[in-house]
Amino acid sequence: MAGRFVVIWFPHLTTDRFISRQPELKDMSFVLAAPERGRMVIRAASIPAEASGITSGMVVADAKALLPSLVVIDDRSELAGKLLAYLAEWCLRYTPVVAVALPDSLILDIRGCAHLWGGEQVYLKDILSKLNNMGYDARAAIADTIGAAWAVCRYGKVSPFVDAGAQLEALLPLPPAALRLEPATLQRMQKLGLYRISSFIQMPRNVLRRRFGPLLLERLDQALGQLKEPIEPIRPVEPYQERLPSQEPIRTATGIKIALQRLLETLCKRLVMEGKGLRKAVFKGYRIDGKLQQIEIGTNAASCNVDHLFRLFELKVTTIAPALGIELFILEAPVVEDLSKVQQTMWQSGREQADKKIAELLDRMTARGGMDIIHRYLPAEHYWPERSVKVAVSLDEKPATAWRTELPRPVHLLPVPELIEVAAPIPDYPPMLFIYKGTVHKITRADGPERIEQEWWIENSLHRDYYQVEDDKGARYWLFRLGHYDEGDPQWFIHGFFA
C-alpha cells in the first residue's frame, strides 16, 4: 500500500524562535554560535545575516570580519530538539503519526487524514499558515515517500505536491543533495559533474554502488518507494483511538460534552463489534495554544456502555480548561478487555444484571474518589492478625481458603496495637485491670490466652498472648502481652474491641 507523507522543513528553526521571543531581533543580523574545538562556530544564522553571506558552520571570527555589526548569541544544543518535539506534539492535530527528523524537519504520515480538511491543498495550506502565524518559516511537501517529500520540500521549485507514483519525475531535476547523502559523496559527485539526479539515475546499480557506496542506492530506493523507510512516531499509535477535529475552537462545557458523546459512540460501536470493553479511557483536548488537556477514567469491569462511560467522564469534564478553545478531541482506550469476562458472574450470585450495576456504581465511585478507595478482603493463611487478611486484586476474585472462625476476632481492630498499663496478678493470668487512655477498666471476665507466634521467616519479634476480656460495664477488649512473663517487665497492648 502506498504511503502519503508530509515533510515539514524549518530552514530557520532556532533563529525564528529567538525572533518570536525578542521581536527586536527581527531585522538584525544575528547568529547562534557554540564553542567547538576551542573556537566559536556558527550553528544558525538569521535571514539578514544569511544575505550577507554568513552560513552555519563558519567560525564567528570570520563572520565578524565580514559583518562587524553581527550579533552573536550563545546556542543551546538541545534547543532544536525541544522545539521540534513541541512542534511535533502540535502537529498531532493533523495526524496521529508524527516523527521528528533532526536537526530541522518533521515527518507526518497523513494517510486518511487530508480529506478531513477537504483535500491536500487545503490541508498543507492550513499547516503552513498556522506555523507561519506562530512565527516559524516553514516549507513542506507531500509525496508518497518520505525521501521524495524531503527532496521536494528543500530543493523543489515547482509544486510541493508530488502526485501518487510520480516520485521519479519530481526527483529528476533536483541536485544530488536532495537524496540525503553524506557530504563526502556529494563532493565526489560535484567533482564528477553530476549536478542533477537525472544525470546518474540511469547508471547501472553496481557502478553506483562501487563509486558512491551502498547508501546512495538505499536513498534512491527509499525516495522512489522501492524500499520502506521506517519512522519513529513521537506517540505510539493507540489501537483504540477516535479523533474529532472541530471546525471552530470549542470553548463551552456543552461543546466538550457533545464531542465526548460522539467519540464515545463511535468507539463503543467499534468495541461492541469486536466483543471488547474498555477498562481505561483517556479523553484529550488539544487547545489552540498548543497545550493539552486530558481526563482519564478507569472502570472496574470491561464496559462498552456509552451512557455509563459518559457519566464517568462527566464528573471530570469540569477540570478541562478550554482557555481560547479546543480544536481537536481524541478519545483513547489504552486498556481493553474481552467483554465475555463480564458474562461470568462476579460472586456466584447468578445475577448478571445486578453485578453489572454494582460494577458501574463502583466505577462512578472510583471516578470521584480515586482508584484506591475500593477494597475487598480475602483470607490469608497467617495466624498473625495483621496478616490474616489480604486485599483482593479484582472484584471477582474468590477466596482460595476458608475464613477461620474457630477463634474469636474483634470487630474493630486497631491499626497499631496501643500500649496499656495493667495489673496482672500471677503469670499467665489475664490482668485484673488495665488503664487505656487515662481510663481504668476493671476486668470481670476473661478468656484466653491464645498464643500467636510471630512468623520468624517474615519478621523477628516476640510472640503475643491474647486475652479476650470484659470490663465491669460489659465492654469487651482484645489485649495481649508481648513475650514471656518472666522476661523482665512484659508489655501489654490493646489491639481491638469486640462487639
CB of 86 or CB of 403, closer to other proteins? 403
User: Total residues at the site for other proteins (CB under 8 A)?
Assistant: 57
Q: What is the DSSP letter of 428?
A: T
Q: How buried is residue 143: exposed, middle or buried, by Cβ count under 10 Å (0-12/13-18/19+)?
A: buried
Based on the shown chain and the rule CB under 8 A, indicate whether residue 378 belongs to the binding site for other proteins: yes
φ/ψ (deg, to 5) at 417: -60, 140
Which of 289, 405, 425, 489 touches other proteins (CB under 8 A)?
405
Region from 105-113, 120-128, 223-231, 404-412 binding other proteins, contact rule CB under 8 A: 404-412
Q: What is the DSSP letter of 28?
A: S
CB of 277 or CB of 496, closer to other proteins? 496
Region from 113-121, 148-156, 263-271, 348-356 binding other proteins, contact rule CB under 8 A: 348-356
Minimum distance from residue 228 beta carbon to other proteins (Å): 52
Region from 16-24, 258-266, 320-328, 355-363 binding other proteins, contact rule CB under 8 A: 355-363
Q: Rounded CA gap, 50 and 365, in Å?
A: 62
Minimum distance from residue 343 beta carbon to other proteins (Å): 16
Region from 11-19, 133-141, 154-162, 469-477 binding other proteins, contact rule CB under 8 A: 469-477
φ/ψ (deg, to 5) at 19: -70, -40
Minimum distance from residue 89 beta carbon to other proteins (Å): 34
Based on the shown chain and the rule CB under 8 A, indicate whether residue 392 belongs to the binding site for other proteins: yes
Based on the shown chain and the rule CB under 8 A, indicate whether residue 473 belongs to the binding site for other proteins: yes
User: Are 39 and 19 spatial neighbours (Cβ–Cβ below 8 Å)?
Assistant: no
User: Are 263 and 283 spatial neighbours (Cβ–Cβ below 8 Å)?
Assistant: yes
Based on the shown chain and the rule CB under 8 A, indicate whether residue 389 belongs to the binding site for other proteins: yes
Which of 373, 419, 423, 440 touches other proteins (CB under 8 A)?
373
Based on the shown chain and the rule CB under 8 A, indicate whether residue 365 belongs to the binding site for other proteins: yes
427 preceded by a cis bond (ω within 30 of 0): no
| Structure-block grid coordinates of residue 308 | 455509563
Minimum distance from residue 396 beta carbon to other proteins (Å): 10
User: Are 123 and 8 spatial neighbours (Cβ–Cβ below 8 Å)?
Assistant: no
CB of 133 or CB of 405, closer to other proteins? 405
Minimum distance from residue 361 beta carbon to other proteins (Å): 4
Q: Rounded CA gap, 411 and 375, in Å?
A: 17
Based on the shown chain and the rule CB under 8 A, indicate whether residue 388 belongs to the binding site for other proteins: yes
Exposure b/e, 153-192, CB count within 10 A at least 16 = b: bbbbeeebbbeeeebbebbeebbbbbbbbeeebbebbeee
Q: Binding string, 425-464, against other proteins, x = CB under 8 A?
A: -------------------xxxx-----------------
Region from 105-113, 190-198, 334-342, 354-362 binding other proteins, contact rule CB under 8 A: 354-362
Closest CA to 32 of 81, 79, 68: 79
CB of 248 or CB of 406, closer to other proteins? 406
Q: Rounded CA gap, 331 and 248, in Å?
A: 19
Minimum distance from residue 293 beta carbon to other proteins (Å): 24
| Cβ atoms < 10 Å from Cβ of 244 | 17
Minimum distance from residue 496 beta carbon to other proteins (Å): 7
Minimum distance from residue 100 beta carbon to other proteins (Å): 42
User: Are 7 and 113 spatial neighbours (Cβ–Cβ below 8 Å)?
Assistant: no
Based on the shown chain and the rule CB under 8 A, indicate whether residue 377 belongs to the binding site for other proteins: yes
Which of 362, 432, 452, 482 touches other proteins (CB under 8 A)?
362
Q: Rounded CA gap, 224 and 214, in Å?
A: 16
* Helix (H) or strand (E) segment spanning residue 90: helix 79-91
User: Are 109 and 1 spatial neighbours (Cβ–Cβ below 8 Å)?
Assistant: no
Based on the shown chain and the rule CB under 8 A, indicate whether residue 499 belongs to the binding site for other proteins: yes
Based on the shown chain and the rule CB under 8 A, indicate whether residue 37 belongs to the binding site for other proteins: no
| Structure-block grid coordinates of residue 467 | 486475652
Which of 353, 394, 401, 460 touches other proteins (CB under 8 A)?
353
Q: Rounded CA gap, 215 and 183, in Å?
A: 12
φ/ψ (deg, to 5) at 471: -90, 180
Alpha carbon distances (Å) from 308 to 147, 177, 242, 255, 294: 47, 57, 18, 19, 19
Which of 86, 195, 403, 429 touches other proteins (CB under 8 A)?
403
Based on the shown chain and the rule CB under 8 A, indicate whether residue 357 belongs to the binding site for other proteins: yes
Minimum distance from residue 375 beta carbon to other proteins (Å): 4
Which of 230, 239, 350, 425 touches other proteins (CB under 8 A)?
350
φ/ψ (deg, to 5) at 90: -65, -35
| Structure-block grid coordinates of residue 128 | 503552513
Give residue 1's identity as a one-letter amino acid code: M
CB of 187 or CB of 318, closer to other proteins? 318
Q: Which residues contribute to the site for other proteins (CB under 8 A)?
A: 347-351, 353-355, 357-358, 361-362, 364-365, 368-369, 373-379, 385, 388-389, 392, 395, 398-399, 403-405, 408-415, 444-447, 468-470, 472-476, 496-499
